[in-house]
Amino acid sequence: MMDTPLPLEPLYNVYLYDDDKNTQVYVAQTLGNVMELDSIIAVKLIREIEKVGRALVDSCTRREAITKRDLLISFGLKSEICEEDLKDLNEDN
């Protein structure tokens, strides 16, 4: 008898947005500390943010996405979970 696999929890996308307050060095340091990214990836994300206004910094479970978004915000960065995922979060409130 085969076990039925459990469904995977959907992934939620955490975005970081461009702002006029924070320096690139501060953003890179924060991405390294909060998101545990190395400096090369942090710089690539910063370049993408400068080019298109936002960058995907992580895809993770709902709970992790909320935590990471809130941490980035607590460090003064502009971060959100993408709109497609927010509908699920709003249903809980």
Looking at per-residue pLDDT, the higher value among 46 and 1 belongs to 46
Whether the Cβ atoms of residue 14 and residue 66 lie closer than 8 Å to each other:
no
pLDDT score of 9: 78
Which pLDDT tens digit goes with each residue over 2-49? 666 656 778 899 999 999 899 999 999 999 988 899 999 999 999 999
* Angstrom distances, CA of residue 63 to CA of 12, 67, 82: 9, 6, 14
pLDDT score of 93: 44
Q: Where are the domains of the chain?
A: 12-92
For the domain bounded by 12-92, which CATH number is listed? 3.30.1390.10
Which pLDDT tens digit goes with each residue over 73-93? 999 999 999 866 555 555 544
Which residue in the block uniquely carries the two structure tokens 């298109």? 52
* Angstrom distances, CA of residue 54 to CA of 7, 8, 46, 70, 71: 30, 27, 9, 17, 17
pLDDT score of 58: 92
Whether the Cβ atoms of residue 23 and residue 63 lie closer than 8 Å to each other:
no
